Amino acid sequence: MKKEDLLKVYACAGALWSSFKIPQRELEAQLFDEVWFDTLGAYDIKIVLFSLREYAKTNDFCNIAKVGLLCDKFTQMQNGTWIDEEEVLKEIRKAISYGKYRENFEKLSPFAKEIVGHPAYLAKWAQSSEVDTVIMSNLRKTVRNVLEKRQTENSLKAVAGKEQKKLNG
């Protein structure tokens, strides 16, 4: 998205939320532009507008940080890099086996392998009576933590990239 696209984004937000207002004072307006562009500037304008519309379906007020998260999600989906928490957990649940733990581990996606850690865990979990309660709950927390960590790292890389562009002119 280009800085000039902010006017389209603001117009869209204004059409979706009657409470949306652009600050009138110059300093506030500049900061507003900066925050919005820092949050949305890395995404294609079509993704940004789509994310605003999707966010408005379930929210009565605009939260630019949450719209940015949707932009990230939709961009990852478009690029084929989106990781769905429930799908990963289903994949791991199907792989839990005492007899075929090594071959099941090899069939897991790279992300699921990262979450499981080692094939032996699949065999260990197969012997547990707590797979559907404690173990899956712990795996869910691990998936969320890893995804949040990746998202934070990607955000930091994007910010660093923007700062480097500013320095390079």
- Reported for 106-114, long-range contacts at CB under 8 A and 24+ positions apart, including other chains, are 111/83, 111/146, 112/88, 114/146
Contact in structure between 101 and 122 (CB atoms under 8 Å): yes
pTM of the model: 0.70
- pLDDT tens by residue, 88-129: 999 999 999 999 999 999 999 999 999 999 999 999 999 999
Non-local CB neighbours of 4 within 8 Å, separated by 6+ positions: none
- pLDDT tens by residue, 63-75: 999 999 999 899 9
